[in-house]
Amino acid sequence: MAEPPRVSFRDGRLASRKAEEAVWRRHQAAAWLQAMVGSFGLPSCPSEQEFVASLRNGIVLCKAINKLQPGAVPKVITNAACDSQPSTAFQYFENIRNFLVAVQELKLPSFEASDLDKDNLDAGTVGKIVDCVISLKSYHEWKQAGGANGPIKYMKSPLAVRSSQIQSENIALGSSTSQKRLDLAEADADTQAFQNVHPDMQGAAEKLQKIVVDCMLSYKENFDQNILKKDSKLISAILASQLGKEQELRKLFQDIKADFKTLQIQFQDDMTKLGENIQEISKAALGYNQAVKENKNLYNTLQELRGNIRVFCRIRPLLHLESISSIEHVGNDGSVMVCDPVKPQSTRKIFQFNKVFGPTTTQDEVYKETQSLIRSVMDGYNVCIFAYGQTGSGKTHTMCGPSGGLAKDFGINYMALNDLFNISTSREDVKYDIRVQMVEIYNEQVRDLLNIRASLSNGPLNLPDAKICPVQSPSDVINLMQLGEKHRASGSTAMNHRSSRSHSILTVHVNGKDIAGNVSRSSLHLVDLAGSERVDRSEATGDRLKEAQHINKSLSCLGDVINALAQKNSHIPYRNSKLTQLLQSSLGRNAKMLMFAHISPEAESWAETLGTLKFAQRTSSVELGTAQANKESSEIRELKEQVDTLKKALASKELERTSHKLKENSIPSERTKQVLDRTPPRSRRLSLENASSAKARIPERKTQKLTRSMMTFTQDEGITHDRECTTDGFKDHNSLTQVSAKFNEDPVREENEKIICTVDTVEFCQLPSDAYNLLKQSGLNTPEGTPCRSRNMCSEASCGDDSSSTVKLKKNMTSTATKKGSHSHLRKSIQSSIGRLIHGTERRNVQHSAQGTPAKITTSMCHDMTPAVTSDIRLRRRQSLTGIPPPPTTMSRRSSLGGKSDINCDSPRISHGSRERKLEMIKYGIRFLCLIGMQSDKILQKTIGIKVGQK
Binding residues for ATP: 389-396
Q: Which of residues 616-675 bind ligand ATP (CB under 6 A)?
A: none
Our CB check for ligand ATP shows the closer of 530 and 884 to be 530
Nearest residue relative to ligand ATP (C-beta):
394
User: Judging by DSSP bridges, how do beta strands 445-448 and 503-514 pair with one another?
Assistant: unpaired
Beta bridge partners of 597: 313, 388
Report which of 620, 527, 509 is spatially closest to residue 577, judged by C-alpha positions. 527
Our finding on whether 389 is near ligand ATP (CB under 6 A) is yes
Our finding on whether 531 is near ligand ATP (CB under 6 A) is yes
CA–CA separation, 672 vs 675, rounded Å?
5
Burial 351-384 (b: 16+ CB within 10 A, else e): bebbbbbbeebebeebbeebeebbbbbbebbbbb
CA–CA separation, 92 vs 764, rounded Å?
181
Query: Helices 915-950 and 822-839 meet at what angle, rounded to 10?
Result: 140
Query: Which parts of 209-368 are beta strand (E)?
Result: 309-315, 327-330, 335-338, 349-352, 355-357
Q: Which stretch binds ligand ATP (CB under 6 A): 40-48, 240-248, 390-398, 796-804?
A: 390-398
CA–CA separation, 273 vs 288, rounded Å?
21
**Shortest distance in whole angstroms from residue 501 CB to ligand ATP:** 7
Beta bridge partners of 338: 327, 349
Pick the binder of ligand ATP from 5, 124, 334, 402 (CB under 6 A).
402
Our CB check for ligand ATP shows the closer of 142 and 353 to be 353
Our finding on whether 512 is near ligand ATP (CB under 6 A) is no
Our CB check for ligand ATP shows the closer of 529 and 565 to be 529
Pick the binder of ligand ATP from 109, 127, 341, 394 (CB under 6 A).
394
Our CB check for ligand ATP shows the closer of 490 and 621 to be 490
**Shortest distance in whole angstroms from residue 596 CB to ligand ATP:** 10
| Terminal-to-terminal C-alpha distance of the chain | 118
- Cβ(337)–Cβ(348) under 8 Å? yes
Pick the binder of ligand ATP from 56, 316, 447, 900 (CB under 6 A).
316
Our finding on whether 317 is near ligand ATP (CB under 6 A) is yes
**Shortest distance in whole angstroms from residue 658 CB to ligand ATP:** 59
DSSP reduced 3-state for 696: helix
**Shortest distance in whole angstroms from residue 420 CB to ligand ATP:** 23
**Shortest distance in whole angstroms from residue 833 CB to ligand ATP:** 53
Pick the binder of ligand ATP from 218, 393, 502, 859 (CB under 6 A).
393
Rg of the chain over all Cα atoms, to the nearest angstrom: 68
Q: Which stretch binds ligand ATP (CB under 6 A): 76-84, 239-247, 392-400, 677-685?
A: 392-400
CA–CA separation, 584 vs 577, rounded Å?
11
- Torsion, Cα 148 149 150 151, to 10 degrees, reads -100
- Cβ burial of 937 (10 Å; 0-12, 13-18, 19+) is buried
Our finding on whether 405 is near ligand ATP (CB under 6 A) is no
Our finding on whether 355 is near ligand ATP (CB under 6 A) is no
Our CB check for ligand ATP shows the closer of 392 and 883 to be 392
Give ∠ CA 479-482-488 in degrees, rounded to 5: 145
Q: Which of residues 213-232 bind ligand ATP (CB under 6 A)?
A: none
Q: Taking phi first (over 0 means left), then psi (-120 to 50 degrees means alpha), and beta for anything else, what does residue 443 get? A: left
**Shortest distance in whole angstroms from residue 409 CB to ligand ATP:** 9
Our CB check for ligand ATP shows the closer of 531 and 886 to be 531
Our CB check for ligand ATP shows the closer of 363 and 880 to be 363
Our CB check for ligand ATP shows the closer of 434 and 599 to be 599
Q: Which stretch binds ligand ATP (CB under 6 A): 395-403, 703-711, 802-810, 921-929?
A: 395-403
Taking residues 816 to 855 in sequence order and writing x for each that binds ligand ATP by CB under 6 A, - otherwise, the string is ----------------------------------------
- Cβ burial of 399 (10 Å; 0-12, 13-18, 19+) is buried
Our finding on whether 554 is near ligand ATP (CB under 6 A) is no
- Cβ(598)–Cβ(529) under 8 Å? no
If you write DSSP's letter for every residue of 109-131 in order, what string do you get?
A: ----GGGGT-SS--HHHHHHHHH
Total of chain residues touching ligand ATP, rule CB under 6 A: 16
Phi and psi angles of residue 357, each rounded to the nearest 5 degrees, phi first: -100, 125
**Shortest distance in whole angstroms from residue 341 CB to ligand ATP:** 19
**Shortest distance in whole angstroms from residue 337 CB to ligand ATP:** 19
Our CB check for ligand ATP shows the closer of 485 and 638 to be 485
Our CB check for ligand ATP shows the closer of 170 and 496 to be 496
Our CB check for ligand ATP shows the closer of 396 and 833 to be 396
**Shortest distance in whole angstroms from residue 524 CB to ligand ATP:** 20
- Cβ(324)–Cβ(341) under 8 Å? yes
Our finding on whether 397 is near ligand ATP (CB under 6 A) is yes
Our CB check for ligand ATP shows the closer of 391 and 766 to be 391
Our CB check for ligand ATP shows the closer of 356 and 944 to be 356
- Cβ(410)–Cβ(401) under 8 Å? yes
Our finding on whether 391 is near ligand ATP (CB under 6 A) is yes
25 Cβ neighbours under 8 A, 6+ residues apart: 127, 130, 131, 134, 155, 157, 158
Which residues contribute to the annotated binding site?
389-396
Q: Taking phi first (over 0 means left), then psi (-120 to 50 degrees means alpha), and beta for anything else, what does residue 898 get? A: left
**Shortest distance in whole angstroms from residue 453 CB to ligand ATP:** 25
Our finding on whether 612 is near ligand ATP (CB under 6 A) is no
407 Cβ neighbours under 8 A, 6+ residues apart: 401
Taking residues 571 to 600 in sequence order and writing x for each that binds ligand ATP by CB under 6 A, - otherwise, the string is ---------------------------x--
Q: Which stretch binds ligand ATP (CB under 6 A): 292-300, 386-394, 459-467, 777-785?
A: 386-394
Report which of 472, 512, 505 is spatially closest to residue 384, judged by C-alpha positions. 505
Our CB check for ligand ATP shows the closer of 108 and 495 to be 495
Q: Which of residues 13-72 bind ligand ATP (CB under 6 A)?
A: none
CA–CA separation, 834 vs 842, rounded Å?
14
Beta bridge partners of 325: 602
Q: Which of residues 483-502 bind ligand ATP (CB under 6 A)?
A: 496, 499-500
**Shortest distance in whole angstroms from residue 397 CB to ligand ATP:** 3
Pick the binder of ligand ATP from 396, 781, 871, 936 (CB under 6 A).
396
**Shortest distance in whole angstroms from residue 371 CB to ligand ATP:** 18
Our finding on whether 503 is near ligand ATP (CB under 6 A) is no
742 Cβ neighbours under 8 A, 6+ residues apart: 794, 797, 810, 813, 814, 817
Site for ligand ATP, rule CB under 6 A: 316-317, 389, 391-397, 402, 496, 499-500, 531, 598
